[in-house]
Structure 1
Amino acid sequence: MDRLFKIFLLGVKELRSLWADPVLIVLIVYTFTFAIYAVATGANFEVENAAVAVVDEDRSMISARLRDALIEPFFKRPVLVNANEIDEVMDAGRFVFVIEIPPKFERDLIAGRRPTVQIDVDATAMSQAGNGASYIQNIITQEVAIAFPDSSSAQPLSLVVRAKFNPNLRSAWFTAVMQVINNVTMLAVILSGAALIREREHGTIEHLLVMPVTPIEIMLAKIWANGLVIVAAATLSLIVVVERLLGVPVAGSLALFVAATVLYQFSVTALGILVATFSTSMAQFGLLVMPMLVMMNLLSGSTTPMESMPGWLQNMMQMSPSTHFVALSQAILYRGADIRIVWPEMVMLSGIASLFFLIAALRFRKSLLNDR
């Protein structure tokens, strides 16, 4: 109990030090409020207000119908251009899509032939290009099938798609939650590392060295104090910003997510302390931690699916706690998974956290002895 009381008091000291640092306070508030809202509402992957041009060489009722089917908010009002202007307008970046309707298009449909409609796509915006081309293809197919139900160009079967967990296919539902998860990783590493470096820069590390506390107690205090701040901020952000402000439903248990976040904090805060033991200043710590955070966020499955990565990279990323945290967070928050589904990921998180803590504790002890 005496050791636990020491850890508690040291943690309170950490919280007071954090509260006295206005830059870090502003960073925490910004990261879990405006940064999440701005990215969720600004970084859209669906097609919205895409510029589209039409080369109508048929000038028939069906070609006019196809133009009228390209409606807002997915597309801007279609602009008619000539065939010899396609390269010019595409090179200038005026249009993302150019639809070429060939001559005698309506006559060929009536005769039962299968005419071809060409779609030129500016694929520099990959997400919008891929989704928009699919939208246009579906629009053309549906309009032709409605206008000529007996035409051979109609689809031989009816394909019904049902989207689960995100029925409206809104990217904000995915982006908002993933921003919370990624920001948990970033701030946990930064705050825990900054706590140690702040001790050195302010000269208070010497005070700790003469106190009747062990390096493990000092480290545990920094972990629980900074982890508490991150868990509380992430939970409030999930409730206030994601659920209330952005209207994103959380399907699963918030308590289970908080428990998983506590496990995750144990590993990433230890990682932050480990990196800080190799740094002598905040500038050096920032240079060391930036590439690590980029890799943990981009390759954890929060940006692209793990299945799309090479096999060797998937295996390597299994040693990253962020990979398992992203997997169980998506299962809980999106699909409503319970402990029976996510317990393997939580076991992996526990094992990785123990390993990181052991390595960080050994390095932290050696660093304090060197300072002594």
Structure 2
Amino acid sequence: MPAPMLSNIYRLGVKELWSLWRDPIMLVLIVFTFTVSVYTSANSTPETLHNAAIAIVDEDESPLSLRIVSAFYPPQFVPPRMISPQEVDPGMDAGDFTFVLHIPHGFQRDVLAGRGAEVQLNTDATRMSQAFTGSGYIQQIVNGEVNEFVNRMRTNTVPQVDLAIRARFNPTLNRSWFGALAQIINQIAMLSIILTGAALIREREHGTIEHLLVMPVTPFEIMMSKVWSMALVVLLASALSINLVVQALMHVPIAGSLPLFFTGAALVLFSTTSMDIFLATIARNMPQFGMLMILVLLPLQMLSGGSTPRESMPQLVQDVMLVAPTTHFVKLGQAILFRGAGLDVVWPEFAATIAIGVAFFLIALARFRSTISSMA
């Protein structure tokens, strides 16, 4: 590019950064998105059972019932609280327990005699994720302890198929490891779309876009300034989030190269900011832009593979979402951060992201030029 053009792009970009600095609402959104949102998303509502409150009514007080009581321990359950039958309903009503296991009198006697032995499990189904997962856990624990007790020893029977499970990339199956990094990937795409479009809409509402029209700058320079400035903000915020929140605060290990990941992030930001400028030229004000964001952001986040695996989606949806830059960003981001992949593995996603970004940029530039011409 010629030096005057680069100078114009740089100075216009600095203007965008100063405008963002004077917008406290956007600054709060950026900070919240890459700090509180990342931390809470990684640690709240886990898919696996974690610290579930359980109480046990042990009317049998036999070796078998004591064995069952001792089988519940962290991190799946908090240490069981022993209560009386009269405390069950008040404790469930007050929300003190998610599960209450009732072992009746004569339970061990019935088990050893081969008679039908029953235990009662009361579950607080308002805590849906824990109730669904925990009920299955408790059933497995009780059945396992009963079978081992009846055999008088831990069974040494060799199964026909010996399944050895080895968890790669996350040996402890800690959901927060994946939740934190997945949230970073999602937020990069979301925030870039919001910031760039909001900046253009703000200029149109405040009338400053007319000032740019009388300056010796081109639509290409105006658009490039918005792309690089907002992309820079998102890259800096995500870099600080990964280093301070994910690694320093949550102690989440990162397997791959951060420079390679941020290179991919820069490419996808080129695509998403271009897409956002196109949407901002369609919307006439901020409320309209907000409605467009709902129609765009939800499919991008839900269907790109960041929330649910793409393999579980209909084939038509998988094919259509290949034109979305976030689909390729999620694939390369997960490969780099989770599995330590190098450029030799993720280069197809890099190439696809570049092609999509160039296409979106040219379409947005054509729309932006026509919008500028109609305002002149």
TM range (shorter): 0.7 to 0.9
Find the aligned partners of 2:37 and 2:15 in 1 and give their Cα distance: 28
Match of 1:171 in 2: 175
The superposition leaves residues 225-262 of structure 1 with CA deviations (integer Å, 9 ceiling, x where unpaired) of: 11111111111111111001111111100010010000
> Equivalent residue of 1:163, what SS?
coil
Return the offset for 1:27: 1.9
**Match status 1:35 vs 2:27:** no
**Aligned residues of 1:141 and 1:154 also touching (Cα < 8 A):** no
Match of 1:279 in 2: 283
After superposing the two structures, state which structure 1 stretch, 253-262 or 172-181, moved more: 172-181
Counterpart code for 2:285: S
**Match status 1:50 vs 2:52:** yes
> Equivalent residue of 1:318, what SS?
helix
**Aligned residues of 1:14 and 1:195 also touching (Cα < 8 A):** yes
Find the aligned partners of 1:364 and 1:311 in 2 and give their Cα distance: 34
- Determine which of 41, 65, 68 is the counterpart of 1:66: 68
Flag the 1:241–1:279 CA change in 2: closer, same or farther, 3 A: same
Find the aligned partners of 2:94 and 2:315 in 1 and give their Cα distance: 40
Match of 1:7 in 2: 9
Counterpart code for 1:9: R
Return the offset for 1:153: 8.3
Flag the 1:130–1:286 CA change in 2: closer, same or farther, 3 A: same
Flag the 1:195–1:130 CA change in 2: closer, same or farther, 3 A: same
The superposition leaves residues 303-339 of structure 1 with CA deviations (integer Å, 9 ceiling, x where unpaired) of: 2222222332222222222121112111111111111
Counterpart code for 1:10: L
**Aligned residues of 1:145 and 1:151 also touching (Cα < 8 A):** no
Matches within 5 A, 1:1-372: 1-2=2-3, 3-54=5-56, 60-76=62-78, 77-78=80-81, 96-97=98-99, 99=101, 106=108, 110=112, 125-140=127-142, 142-144=144-146, 146-149=148-151, 157=159, 159-372=163-376
**Aligned residues of 2:45 and 2:129 also touching (Cα < 8 A):** no
Flag the 1:155–1:324 CA change in 2: closer, same or farther, 3 A: farther
After superposing the two structures, state which structure 1 stretch, 72-81 or 294-303, moved more: 72-81
Find the aligned partners of 1:35 and 1:75 in 2 and give their Cα distance: 26
Find the aligned partners of 2:126 and 2:250 in 1 and give their Cα distance: 29
After superposing the two structures, state which structure 1 stretch, 88-97 or 266-275, moved more: 88-97
Find the aligned partners of 1:218 and 1:201 in 2 and give their Cα distance: 17
> Equivalent residue of 2:167, what SS?
coil
Find the aligned partners of 2:355 and 2:250 in 1 and give their Cα distance: 35
User: Equivalent pairs: percent with the same residue?
Assistant: 48
Counterpart code for 1:65: R
Counterpart code for 1:22: P
Find the aligned partners of 1:366 and 1:64 in 2 and give their Cα distance: 77
Flag the 1:99–1:284 CA change in 2: closer, same or farther, 3 A: same
The superposition leaves residues 140-180 of structure 1 with CA deviations (integer Å, 9 ceiling, x where unpaired) of: 35534653556798875365432222222222212211221
Find the aligned partners of 2:344 and 2:168 in 1 and give their Cα distance: 21
Flag the 1:112–1:185 CA change in 2: closer, same or farther, 3 A: same
Find the aligned partners of 1:151 and 1:170 in 2 and give their Cα distance: 32
Return the offset for 1:301: 1.9
Find the aligned partners of 2:121 and 2:171 in 1 and give their Cα distance: 27
Flag the 1:8–1:164 CA change in 2: closer, same or farther, 3 A: same
After superposing the two structures, state which structure 1 stretch, 246-255 or 112-121, moved more: 112-121
After superposing the two structures, state which structure 1 stretch, 335-344 or 50-59, moved more: 50-59
**Aligned residues of 1:148 and 1:154 also touching (Cα < 8 A):** no
Find the aligned partners of 1:307 and 1:92 in 2 and give their Cα distance: 42
After superposing the two structures, state which structure 1 stretch, 319-328 or 257-266, moved more: 319-328
How many residue pairs end up in the alignment?
Answer: 370
Flag the 1:264–1:116 CA change in 2: closer, same or farther, 3 A: farther
Flag the 1:166–1:113 CA change in 2: closer, same or farther, 3 A: farther
Any unmatched runs of 5+ in structure 1?
A: none
Return the offset for 1:113: 8.9
**Aligned residues of 1:300 and 1:322 also touching (Cα < 8 A):** yes
Q: TM-score, normalised by structure 1?
A: 0.86
Find the aligned partners of 1:126 and 1:288 in 2 and give their Cα distance: 33
Any unmatched runs of 5+ in structure 2?
A: none
Find the aligned partners of 1:155 and 1:277 in 2 and give their Cα distance: 70
The superposition leaves residues 103-150 of structure 1 with CA deviations (integer Å, 9 ceiling, x where unpaired) of: 865456657899787766566645424442453344335534653556
Find the aligned partners of 1:118 and 1:352 in 2 and give their Cα distance: 57
After superposing the two structures, state which structure 1 stretch, 143-152 or 178-187, moved more: 143-152
Find the aligned partners of 1:152 and 1:114 in 2 and give their Cα distance: 22
Find the aligned partners of 1:115 and 1:167 in 2 and give their Cα distance: 38
